[in-house]
Amino acid sequence: DVKVTQSSRYLVKRTGEKVFLECVQDMDHENMFWYRQDPGLGLRLIYFSYDVKMKEKGDIPEGYSVSREKKERFSLILESASTNQTSMYLCASSLDRSTDTQYFGPGTRLTVL
Amino acid sequence: ILNVEQSPQSLHVQEGDSTNFTCSFPSSNFYALHWYRWETAKSPEALFVMTLNGDEKKKGRISATLNTKEGYSYLYIKGSQPEDSATYLCAQADDKIIFGKGTRLHILP
């Protein structure tokens, strides 16, 4: 059974803190994605990765960075958290680049105070 | 940036009624169209992936059609049930995947 896990369901951080959101998939997928979901804005792509140590910017990369040292793990990093980064963060993985289904994790609801 | 539009934004349907909603996307550089169902407190789950103009897919009471020439896809739900209440997302894929904002479906008992 396909599984994508995220390190936390809920997280509360303070402005200026460095925040790590971890995502792990057990399907040997090549591709991994980070999205944020905000009311009225839908899912927006932050960063994605098509291979280990490879990363590409999505539509809203500002204020974020990512790390993919191992195939199964894709980390999203908020270098200095700000209140406008309060959001639901979703990780996903897929076998192929565009045509294959994306499998999503349960999401992390991050609140930055 | 691709613009994937979904309409309506929100929809209330009486239990037992059938319904449909639309996903519009730029028809250039088309590669695949995805539909996902996202229930509250759960992760989005894939419904369909369609790639060919004229494709029709069906899963139980839910079906979808694709018109790549005019850039739209319809999702149909026949005989709505309470468990159909969810947000339905479509996404166009070429070099990367772009999601629409979703249609929020509420089934009224």
Residue B95 has pLDDT above 50, yes or no: yes
The reported pLDDT for the residue numbered B1 is: 46
The reported pLDDT for the residue numbered A97 is: 73
Over pLDDT 90: what percentage of chain A?
A: 81
Region A63-78 average pLDDT: 96
For residue A99, the chain B residue with the least C-alpha distance is: B32
Region A83-98 average pLDDT: 91
Greater confidence (B39 vs A99) lies with: B39
- Rounded to the nearest angstrom, the minimum Cα separation between B17 and chain A is 27
For residue A37, the chain B residue with the least C-alpha distance is: B101
The reported pLDDT for the residue numbered A2 is: 66
pLDDT confidence band for B35 (50 / 70 / 90): very high
User: DSSP characters for A8-61?
Assistant: -SEEEE-TT--EEEEEEESS--SEEEEEEEETTTEEEEEEEESSTT--EE-S--
Region A105-109 average pLDDT: 95
Q: Does B51 contact A45 at a Cβ distance shorter than 8 Å? A: no
The reported pLDDT for the residue numbered B64 is: 98
CA dist B105 → A46, A76, B24, B37, B97 (Å): 26, 31, 18, 10, 23
Average pLDDT, chain B: 92
Residue linked to tokens 């490879």: A54
pLDDT 10s digits, A74-85: 999 999 999 999
pLDDT confidence band for B17 (50 / 70 / 90): very high
Q: Could you count the other beta carbons within 10 Å of the beta carbon of residue B25?
A: 25
Residue A71 has pLDDT above 90, yes or no: yes
* Residue-wise burial string across A91-104, b where 16 or more C-beta atoms lie within 10 A, e elsewhere: bbbbeebbbbbbbb
Question: Pairing between strand A56-57 and A64-70?
Answer: unpaired
- Minimal Cβ distance to A42: which of B43, B46, B101: B101
Q: Provide the token pair at A17.
A: 């803190």
Q: Does B89 contact A43 at a Cβ distance shorter than 8 Å? A: yes
